Each structure stands twice: as structure tokens, then as C-alpha cells.
Amino acid sequence: MGAENNIWKRSDSALVVVDYTSLDELKKYREAIRNVGINVNNCSLLAVVPTKKERLIMNQQSLAVFISEKDINLLGQLKNPEAQNILKQKFSLLIMIGDKPKRLSKVLMQLNVDTSIGLNCTINEQDVNLKTEVATPSHLINFAKQTLEKII
């Protein structure tokens, strides 16, 4: 019974939030997501960039939706239509890799998700907070999967 009732098996959609470093790394995240059995059509990749200007440049890429802390006004409202569309959806899993800017973390913690997972985060607002030394996309996603398969 336990193996079929773990968090990973119950998850059918995911939002993975990463810091943008390169297009190659985003491709590796997409591949890692595909390799662990999450349907990429039910998974969104949200890449955090430092500035709104960089986000506007990166929006031409279809690998991910890009967001900047500068997209959030003083009242905590998101002014990024692409990110708004993603963040309106319901996800089984929110996988946040690394710490995010405070205003952005606040917005992410208000999402409609069943389980939130933090990987290598120092804030403890997630349901599950995991630490690992290896930071490659495939290791991080596999580590989350393996750990969630053990949690009922």
C-alpha cells in the first residue's frame, strides 16, 4: 500500500523554480523532469532572472517562463503576464531549487499546490526541505523523486 500512496506517485503536475544560469542548464532541467516520469506537458519551469530587462530578453525562449523579483510591486502583486498565467494553475508539486528573493518566495508560497519542496533552501517555508551536495539538474530532480517516494 505504501509504495503506491507516496507523495511522488500522487503527483501528476509540477512547477519547478530555478535560478537562470544558462539555456543549456534549463534544457538539462527539462530532460531531468522527463527522465523521472513527470509529463513535461504537466510541468512548468519558472526561471528566476535578476532584472525585468533580462526577463524581457529571455521571454523569447520557450524552455521556461522567466520571472524577476522586479516583476512584483510593493503591494506584492505580480506584473508579469506570462508568470501570472503559470502561477494561476494548480500543481501537485512545487519544487523550489535554492533560495529565491524574499518577495518572490512570498508569491510562490501562496500558490495552489499540494506539496512544496525546497531543495538546498535555507528558508523553511516548504512542506519538505531537502539538502544535497550535488547541484546538477539531474541529481536534484532525482533526489527529490527518490525522497518523495519514501514519504507517504
> What pTM was estimated for this model as a whole?
0.93
Instruction: Encode pLDDT of 7-59 as tens digits.
Output: 888 888 999 999 999 999 999 999 999 999 887 788 999 999 999 899 988 87
Round to whole Å and give the CA distance between 90 and 127: 16
Q: Is the dihedral of CA 34, 65, 16, 25 positive or negative?
A: positive
Instruction: Encode pLDDT of 109-149 as tens digits.
Output: 889 999 999 999 987 789 999 999 999 999 999 999 999 99
Asked if pLDDT for residue 1 goes beyond 50, the answer is no
pLDDT at 57: 86
pLDDT at 124: 78
Find all residues with CB under 8 Å of 114, minimum gap 6, and list them: 10, 11, 91, 92, 93
Q: Which three cell numbers stand for residue 125?
A: 517555508
Instruction: Encode pLDDT of 69-118 as tens digits.
Output: 999 998 889 999 999 999 999 999 999 999 999 899 999 988 999 999 99
pLDDT at 46: 96
Round to whole Å and give the CA distance between 22 and 106: 25
